[in-house]
């Protein structure tokens, strides 16, 4: 199939009507390899192993996963079909617990099925919904970038954590969208990229996609942020997000919280960029957001090399919660939310 090489970075995912093609992000930046996904179960495994990752990307992938699941359901009554599809949706949604976009996409696909209300053309309706979710993701990210760019100035140094770029979405990204739009408009922004232990999404994905696009990119270790801020190199911090609670507390890749504390110390604006689908009003505050814990091997090994004593105890939470009071603004496709977030978020969702 023809793959889109948008802005030189290969597409995160493509749907060809038969299967979902995923760019295997565990092999970047060394290799550009795609895997073909034909079943919802195979997609679940790809999400868990992080071949596809990033909140919006796993949401869009799950929408297509629901189409693949629906095609395997043999029930002929509408009610039984819905029950079976719901089970597949729960299986997909449980792949990773923190990014609410995953459950959001599954829920939207279920709503589309319920609203269709009958068996004929149901599969076509579901495919249409998944394609719509995909298209909306790209449009939303561009809008987020436009709004974010309005908060930045030519020559700014911007620190980002993890990967909230086009590889974490279908195009542009959320936190990185402003970099791509700035480039289109001849505005120069400098990207400072945290390597992002333990899985190095900053080094292997963010630095990769920004450099592919020719954006001024400097990679740093996670523990260098305070020094760079003290040196005056950072004018703003811009991160993505996996779930925003009703009070503005935001879950993102572990390390984001400490970055927010340091930014506050230096009076540097800390922006969170996320689509509205990342906002979860069912969580009143960040303590209600489930935090994924991953294998300790992500800490003790780098590739095949063991870097810690055999048998050492580990603790590997994949995300942390940045409290609302450390966030300057939350940038969504429907507008920018400013504190107090409990009020401003309500006007956006
Ligand atoms: O564990 P990952 O790589 O899926 O974590 C990704 C992040 O933390 C991103 O910042 C977040 O999903 C937002 S992506 C636009």
Give the DSSP letter string of 254-284: TTHHHHHHHHHHHT--EEEE--GGGEETT-S
274 Cα–ligand 1 center, Å: 10
Protein residue with least CA distance to atom 2, ligand 1? 54
Minimal-distance CA residue to ligand 1 atom 6: 54
For residues 247 and 315, state if they share a domain: yes
Q: Are 87 and 214 in a shared domain?
A: no
Residue 54 region by backbone torsions, left for phi larger than 0, else alpha for psi between -120 and 50, else beta: left
- Indicate if 183 and 301 belong to the same structural domain: yes
* CATH of residue 86: 1.20.120.420
What span, in angstroms and rounded, lies between the C-alpha atoms of 29 and 195? 13
Q: Please indicate whether residue 242 is annotated as part of the active site.
A: yes
Closest-CA residue, ligand 1 atom 10, reads: 240
Average pLDDT, the chain: 97
- Do 134 and 185 share a domain, yes or no? no
**Does ligand 1 have an atom closer than 6 angstroms to the CB of 157?**
no
Cα 54 to Cα 173: distance, rounded to the nearest angstrom: 9
- Local confidence band at 338 (pLDDT 50, 70, 90 cut-offs): very high
**Using 50, 70 and 90 to split pLDDT, how confident is the model at 8?**
confident
Range of the domain at 304: 148-347
Q: What is the pLDDT of residue 9?
A: 86
Quote the ligand 1 centre to 98 CA distance (angstroms): 10
Nearest by Cα to 75 from 65, 85, 66: 85
Both 73 and 177 in one domain: the answer is: no
Give mean pLDDT, residues 163-187. Answer: 98
The atom of ligand 1 lying closest to the CA of 99 is 12
Q: Kindly state whether residue 333 falls inside one of the protein's structural domains.
A: yes
Contact 273, 148 (CB under 8 A): yes
Asked whether 168 lines ligand 1 (CB < 6 A), one says yes
Residue 56 Cβ < 6 Å to ligand 1: yes
Of 107, 141, 175, the residue at which a domain comes to its end is: 141
Q: How many domains does the chain have?
A: 2
Whether residue 154 lies inside any domain: the answer is yes
70 assigned to some structural domain: yes
Q: How far is the CA of 129 from the centre of ligand 1 (A)?
A: 24
Q: What is the CATH number of the domain that holds 226?
A: 3.40.50.10470
Q: Which of 84, 114, 141 is the last residue of a domain?
A: 141
The average pLDDT across 145-171 equals 98
CA-nearest of 253, 258, 88, 36 to 164 is 253
Residue 158 sits in the same domain as residue 133: no
Residues 116 and 49 in one domain: yes
The single residue of 137, 194, 242, 280 carrying the catalytic annotation is: 242
User: What's the pLDDT score for residue 103?
Assistant: 98
CB-ligand 1 contact for 330 (6 Å cutoff): no
Q: Is there a domain that residue 205 lies in?
A: yes
72: CA distance to ligand 1 center in Å? 30
Whether 327 and 218 map to the same domain: the answer is yes
In a domain, 135, yes or no: yes
For residues 128 and 171, membership in a common domain is answered with: no
Q: Residue 292: pLDDT band by 50, 70, 90 thresholds?
A: very high
The predicted structure's pLDDT at residue 1: 47
Helix (H) or strand (E) holding 252: strand 250-253
pLDDT digits (tens, 9 = 90+) for 310-326: 999 999 999 999 999 99
Number of alpha carbons in the 13 Å side-chain half-sphere of residue 337 = 31
**What is the structure's pLDDT at 6?**
44
**Helix pair 100-116, 55-72: axis angle to 10 deg:** 40
Average pLDDT over residues 102-106: 98
Give yes or no: residues 287 and 318 share one domain. yes
Ligand 1: distance of its center to the CA of 252 in Å?
Answer: 6
Domain assignment present for residue 1? The answer is no
Domain ends where: 84, 110, 141?
Answer: 141
Determine whether 146 is exposed, middle or buried from the number of CB atoms within 10 Å of its CB (0-12, 13-18, 19+): middle
Specify whether 286 is located in the same domain as 242. Answer: yes
Give the mean model confidence (pLDDT) for residues 162-175.
98
pLDDT per position as a tens digit, 28-68:
999 999 999 999 999 999 999 999 999 999 999 999 999 99
Which of 28, 162, 273 is the best mutation target for the ligand 1 pocket, counting ligand atoms within 8 Å of the beta carbon and taking the most? 162
Cβ of 47 below 6 Å from ligand 1? no
Q: How confident is the model at residue 117 (pLDDT cuts 50, 70, 90)?
A: very high
Q: Are residues 295 and 152 in the same domain?
A: yes
Confidence of residue 5 (pLDDT cuts 50, 70, 90): very low
Q: How far apart are CA 80 and CA 30, in angstroms?
A: 46
199-251 pLDDT, tens digit per residue, is 999 999 999 999 999 999 999 999 999 999 999 999 999 999 999 999 999 99
CA of 58 to the centre of ligand 1 (A): 10
Segment 71-81 mean pLDDT: 96
Q: Phi and psi at residue 229, in whole multiples of 5°?
A: -65, -45
């Amino acid at each position: 199939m023809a793959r889109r090489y948008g802005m030189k970075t290969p597409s995160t995912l493509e749907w060809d009507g038969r299967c979902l093609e995923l760019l295997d992000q565990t092999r970047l930046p060394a290799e550009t390899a795609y895997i073909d996904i034909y079943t919802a179960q195979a997609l679940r495994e790809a999400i868990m192993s992080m071949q596809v990752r990033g909140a919006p990307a796993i949401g869009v992938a799950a929408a297509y996963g629901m189409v693949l699941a629906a095609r395997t359901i043999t029930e002929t009554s509408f009610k039984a079909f819905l029950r079976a599809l719901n089970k597949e949706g729960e299986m997909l949604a449980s792949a990773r617990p923190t990014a609410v976009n995953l459950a959001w996409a599954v829920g939207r696909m279920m709503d589309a099925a319920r609203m269709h209300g009958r068996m004929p053309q149901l599969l076509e309706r579901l495919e249409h919904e998944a394609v719509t979710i995909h298209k909306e993701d790209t449009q939303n990210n561009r809008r987020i970038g436009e709004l974010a760019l309005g908060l930045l100035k030519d020559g700014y140094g911007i620190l980002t954590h993890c990967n909230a770029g086009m590889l974490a979405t279908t195009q542009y990204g959320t936190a990185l969208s402003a970099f791509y739009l700035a480039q289109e408009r001849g505005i120069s922004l400098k990207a400072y990229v945290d390597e992002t232990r333990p899985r190095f999404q900053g080094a292997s994905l963010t630095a990769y996609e920004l450099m592919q696009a020719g954006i001024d990119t400097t990679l740093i270790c996670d523990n260098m942020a305070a020094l760079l801020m003290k040196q005056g190199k950072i004018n703003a911090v811009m991160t993505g997000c996996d779930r925003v609670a009703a009070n503005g507390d935001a879950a993102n890749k572990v390390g984001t919280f400490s970055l927010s504390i340091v930014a506050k110390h230096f009076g540097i604006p800390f922006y969170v960029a996320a689509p509205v689908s990342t906002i979860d009003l069912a969580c009143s505050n960040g303590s209600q957001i489930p935090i994924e814990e991953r294998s300790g091997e992500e800490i003790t090994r780098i590739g095949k090399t063991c870097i810690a004593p055999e048998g050492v105890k580990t603790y590997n939470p994949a995300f942390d919660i940045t409290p609302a009071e450390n966030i300057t603004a939350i940038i969504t496709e429907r507008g920018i939310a400013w504190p107090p977030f409990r009020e401003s978020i309500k006007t956006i969702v």
